Structure 1
Amino acid sequence: MNLPGLTHHTARINGIHTHWVEAGQGEPVVLCHGFPHTWISWHHQIAALAGAGYRVIVPDMRGMGQTEGPVEPESYDCFQTAGDLAGLLDHLGLPQAVFAGLDFGIFAVIDCAHLHPDRVRAIVALENPFYADRADITPLAEAAEWAQSHFVHIDYFRAPGVADAALNAEPRKFLERVYYALSGEYRYLNVWEHPPGTPYIEALPEAPPLPWSWLTTEVMDAVVADYERSGFTGGLNWYRAMDLRWHQRAAWRGQKTTQPYFFIGSDRDVDLEAWHGDDPLAAIHDYHGQVRRVAMVPHAGHMMQLEAPGPVNALLLEFLAEL
């Protein structure tokens, strides 16, 4: 998919073949996606921010899209994933940038803010306001406890080879179903009603035919083509390294980020509903020292930047103007 003024780039950064796209000129803004997404999940924001005078830089995150995916989960720890972001700035000759992220993307940004604080001009978190980690139990152990009574995708992803083979066999079915399940048109936690041992694709709802009101066939085709080429192991390794990152974060657990921080959530997001405590918006101040604004977008789910690009873009531009 091509956007006006969009350019594709590749280079060896932080030891891996890295792909990213750029558009616009001005102050740099880096947009970081989650799983199972690629750079294209930000295409509405790229056009809006570049048109408003910003240099927009959007990497395919480690192991996803057209960026190389090491096969060992240990390569997805905090130091490597945050190092990818700092290394991208090094390659581009940029001292710092504003970083926005969703899902695993924002967790890598927050890790970068702790490990390389001078490189992060500001943080814009979408959906995930802070680490969802509990201090008393590792993420994979917690998921295993939940999975004793019902299906949990985090536990399903843990065993190497199992989820990889299932998702690689039916990438389009999986991607369409999970995108729909994560949207505001479905309540994702209904997936948990399936018993332990259910294959993920079968636990997900059947997706309506494309195009949807918020997703074109062209965009889905691009995502499917990338995952058909790369497979899902790289993305799944972000889950398999969750305990490793949990242990590494102990070094700065309890420390607040020091950069200006903005948050955009949506009222139908599963992560806010299930993974960040009873009152996640109030808890933001416990994790970030310079909270500037907290905003909520109505009638959207976890795919917020695709589902509600108008409100999301307006808020991003407001936040950037405040800086």
Structure 2
Amino acid sequence: MAAWMHRYARINHIDMHYVEQGEGPLAILCHGFPHIWFSWHRQIPALAAAGWRVIAPDMRGMGQTEAPADPRAYDVDHTVGDLIGLLDHLGERQAVFVGLDFGILTIYDLALRHPERVRAVIGLENPFPVHDPAISPLAEAARHAKDHFIHIDYFRPYGPADAALNAEPRRFLSKVFYALSGDYRYLNVWSHPPGTAYIDALPEPPPLPWAWLNELELEFFVSEYSRSGFTGGLNWYRAMDLRWEQRRAFEGVKSTPPFYFIGSENDVDLEAWHGDDPIAHIPDHHADVRAVRMLPKAGHMMQLERTPDVNATLVEFLGIIARA
């Protein structure tokens, strides 16, 4: 049963919202886009019951956390600073950090720059930061966008995408959640021609409830994004080149905290963004790989699609970390 508390604090010069449940060693769960803390609502009670103090923040720009309008406020210095500031606010020197999508990429930046603050890392779906020194991510997306739709380039200009998504949050979220799941192959979205609107490129989802998401759960996401708008989340994309430049200094450097990974066989990021055979390349990026677990059938929404398996694996990995 959920027994979490909603907390609000001024952290790293922004107003941050986070959810807390449990007592014990600290585990911080970091979401991506278009998610909020609620993406972890099935994990928080399970990890708290296993003896952990669980914190799930709304990441910068999303949910009830402040959303600076300037994309420069979403660079590595700011996003890593949020996690350092959260640790300091909680009165903790270290935490186990668990993340997905932009959340885990921020954790990787933290682990490279401040490994002393990271007890261990559990990555979901994204096994390591992607950094091509030859071309920036926004330049690469613009090159692909000459041939077909790609969401990164669609999000790049400030304004049009924001207005389109803000106008139809329920339609966008239902379509993108379905497209990202293991029930659909997300890369089919790229078959649309340049100039397609994202909402039009996404597939029509089946009626809710789905096997892994019900109407009330979707409504929680819709309610939050209807209030906040999507600009904060889109600014994470607009800052990709800034973070690319800041990551240059760590090109070829391995992360040193203990590393655990959970992936799923139908994840779009593993298929499209991490090169050939990304699982085999995990040791190229992490010096202390402790465990790698792949879940069948699920897609990028894995903690909702395969909740019992994700929870059991997280509890298992956290138990290993606690005993170390």
TM-score by length of structure 2 reads 0.98
Q: What corresponds to 2:15 in structure 1? A: 17
Structure 1 SS opposite 2:287: strand
Q: Percent of aligned positions with the same letter in both sequences?
A: 64
Partner of 1:76: 74
Quote the Cα distance in structure 2 between the aligned partners of 1:39 and 1:76: 18
Query: In the aligned structure 1, how far is the partner of 2:54 from the partner of 2:87?
Result: 12
Kept in 1: contact 2:131–2:247 (CA 8 A) = no
Look up the SS of the partner of 1:99 in the other structure.
strand
Structure 1 portions without partners, runs of 5+: none
The equivalent position to 1:207 in structure 2, one of 205, 208, 214, is 205
Q: Which residue type is aligned with residue 257 of structure 2?
A: Q
CA deviations over 1:150-195 (Å, ceiling 9, x no partner): 0000000000001001000101100000000000000000000000
**1:210 CA displacement:** 1.4
CA distance in 2, matches of 1:276, 1:196: 24
Cα deviation 1:218-243 (Å, max 9, x = unaligned): 11111111101110000000000000
Please tell me whether the aligned partners of residues 149 and 195 of structure 2 are also in contact (alpha carbons under 8 angstroms).
yes
What residue number does 2:142 align with? 144
2:115, 2:256 → 1: CA distance? 8
Alignment of 1:173-212 (within 5 A): 173-212=171-210
- Which SS does the other structure have where 2:134 is aligned? coil
Instruction: Tell me what 1:172 maps to.
Output: 170
1:50-89 alignment, distance < 5 Å: 50-89=48-87
Q: How far apart are the structure 1 equivalents of 2:265 and 2:251?
A: 28
CA-to-partner distance for each residue in 1:2-25, whole Å, 9 max, x for gaps? x53110000110000100001111
Displacement of 1:47 in angstroms is 1.3
The residue identity in structure 2 corresponding to 1:129 is: P
The 5-angstrom pairing of residues 1-323 of structure 1 reads 4-323=2-321
Contact 2:131 2:251 in 1 (8 A): no
Which of 31-40 and 217-226 deviates more?
217-226
Distance between the aligned counterparts of 2:124 and 2:286, measured in 1?
Answer: 14
Letter in 2 for 1:223: F
1:43-82 Cα offsets, whole Å, 9 max, x none, are 1110110111111100000000110000000000001001
Whichever residue aligns with residue 58 of structure 1, its letter is A
For 2:320 and 2:242, locate their aligned partners in 1 and report how far apart those are by CA, in whole Å.
Answer: 36
Quote the Cα distance in structure 2 between the aligned partners of 1:148 and 1:182: 23
Length, aligned pairs only: 321
Cα deviation code 1:121-164 (max 9, x no counterpart): 10000000011221211000111111110000000000000100
Local SS of the residue matching 2:43 = helix
Equivalent-residue separation in structure 2 for 1:177 and 1:26 (angstroms): 38
Partner Cα distance (1:106, 1:280) in 2: 16
Instruction: Flag as ranges the 4+ runs of structure 1 deviating above 4 A.
Output: none
SS in 2 for 1:50: helix
Per the alignment, in what secondary structure is the counterpart of residue 146 of structure 1? helix
TM-score by length of 1: 0.98
| Residue deviations 1:199-254 (CA, integer Å, cap 9, x gap) | 00000001111111101211111111110111000000000000000000111111
SS in 2 for 1:17: strand
Deviations 1:77-133 (A, max 9, x none): 001001101100100101110000000000010111112211111000000001122
d(CA) in 1 for partners of 2:13, 2:226: 23
Unaligned runs of 5+ in 2: none
